[in-house]
Amino acid sequence: MDYAYLAEVCLKAADIIATRGLVKGQLYDETGAVCNNGAILIALGVPEEHFGINDLERHYPELEALSAIGVVERLILENTDAGIITPWEYNDLDSTSAEDVILLLKRTAEKIRGMSIVFSVIPGGTIKLSFSIA
């Protein structure tokens, strides 16, 4: 996996939220606002019309990249007041602003540049993540 690319995806996702606004509880809304994961998927090149579950399954490499970014985001969140929380739960908190999510994406880009993340699919379709600081 190209970590420099993933870092750039995070920065692009931050720009998307800065431009379009932040939505909670869904990937995007009718105004064009997006959540953390929606912005990352758009930055990865997934068309918004493919945001349905069945359509997203066709974008396995992008979902793999989203998972890698989510792991790093969660590591960052665990070391903040947010505590042990998923990126989408953090996005959906009433107290989380667009600026908070943009900052998380920028911090993730910085951290991901120094990581090595390996995916493997184990029997039953479970994705196993292994990562280390390079």
**pTM attached to this predicted model:** 0.79
pLDDT tens-digit map of 39-55 = 999 998 888 888 876 77
**pLDDT at position 57, please?**
73
Residues (pLDDT < 70) of the chain are: 1, 53, 82-84, 115-134
> Hey, where are the domains in the chain?
3-133
Tell me which residue of 108, 130, 118, 111 sits closest to 43, measured CA to CA.
108
| Backbone φ and ψ of 23, nearest 5° | -115, 155
Q: Which amino acid is at 85?
A: I
The count of C-alpha atoms lying within 13 angstroms of the C-alpha of 4, restricted to the half-sphere facing its C-beta, is: 0
